[in-house]
Amino acid sequence: DEVEDLYHLLKLVKEKEEVEAVSVGAILSDYQRVRVENVCKRLNLQPLAYLWRRSQEDLLTEMISANIQAMIIKVAAFGLDPDKHLRKTLLEMEPYLKELSEKYGVHICGEGGEYETFTLDCPLFKKRIVVDESEVVIHSADAFAPVGYLNLSRLHLEDKVTDNISFLVPSSICPCLSSLGTNPDFEEMEDFCGCISPKVDWRVKDDGHHITRPSLCTKKTIHGYQWISGVTASCTHMEKEVIIQEIKQAFSILQEALESTEFEFKDIVLVNLYVRRMNDFELINSVYQTYFDVNPPARVCVEAPLFDGILFQADCLVHKHEMMNNDNVRHEKQVMHVQSISHWAPANIG
């Protein structure tokens, strides 16, 4: 099993090199990202997926601008010819790959397996790789999408010429900045939100420790969305067991609020979680995750200047999604649970 092979390999690397994180190159592939995240969770490693959901066109331009010299060594897509395109570099192929993407939907970065590359040089390399001998091997002579690869039979290393040229990535490519200046149509979002998103309330009096009941339950929108906000846990005692009990009590209050509006935890689609100290997140999250299955709601967690003694405030957006199937009503919620550190989450939150 490839997942277990990866587990044992990373376990060995962690023990020998004392690594703390694992970088995954997935851009769109849930297959790859989810498996790496699963192994990292078991080994208590932090997965990093900084390429996740990046614009592939921007990403290819960024790699070329960063002086990553990679050549194509395998093709397997309509429009790519082994005899024409093998051995060509990404710089040479960039215009043609963009053209294929516009015409046929080919993934510019080869995320769908359209092509594979071999890196000859990049700023991290101490020496560059030179290919002396290679041959084209045709794996499938399909008339429309032939599959072929390059057999590298002889290579050698060469010293790099240091010309002190620094390769800078244009700031306009930054995924977190690319959305700035856009004007979302808030009128189209009105039904989704139902009302202005609840504000954080840090004016709760500090009387030792207490739980406040939800201060706001908005009316359902025409499409069934509703906010339940103001679930707050307070505790001045720093003992771990006491804090855990207060957190559980807060979720019990939330459960009561959900039941009073005919919802369940599985109907929560978004949680705005405000914590007074981000250092408390791990403890809060250890309780939080026990209330949700493998499809948790989307969550935004930020540190906020809550009143002394307040652990967190939670505001929840709920929606019961009903679907008819053979005259039976069933509930379905589709989520994407990204556990890796990436540009994708902060870009969406921003």
Question: Digits of tens for pLDDT over the chain (350 positions)?
Answer: 788 999 999 999 999 998 999 998 889 888 888 889 889 989 999 999 888 888 999 999 999 999 999 999 999 999 999 999 999 999 999 999 999 999 999 999 998 899 999 999 999 999 999 999 999 999 998 888 899 999 999 999 999 876 544 444 454 445 444 444 444 444 444 444 444 455 545 444 444 444 444 556 777 777 778 888 888 887 766 778 888 888 998 999 899 888 888 888 988 988 999 998 888 888 898 999 899 877 788 888 888 888 878 889 999 999 886 655 555 555 566 666 777 777 766 665 54
Distance between alpha carbon 199 and the CA centroid of its chain, in Å? 26
Name the E strands within 187-297. Answer: 211-212, 216-217, 226-234, 268-275
- Coil vs helix vs strand at 349: helix
* Cβ-contact 306, 200 below 8 angstroms: yes
Q: How far is Cα 343 from Cα 252, in angstroms, rounded to an integer? A: 34
Query: For the whole model, what pTM was predicted?
Result: 0.59
**3-class secondary-structure state, position 43:** helix
Q: Angle 82-140-134 (CA atoms, 0-180°, nearest 5)?
A: 45
What pLDDT, on the 0 to 100 scale, is given for residue 135?
95
* pLDDT at position 171: 45
What is residue 280's DSSP assignment?
G
Determine contact, residues 76/114, Cβ cutoff 8 Å.
Answer: yes
pLDDT of residue 242: 84
Radius of gyration over alpha carbons of the chain, in Å? 26
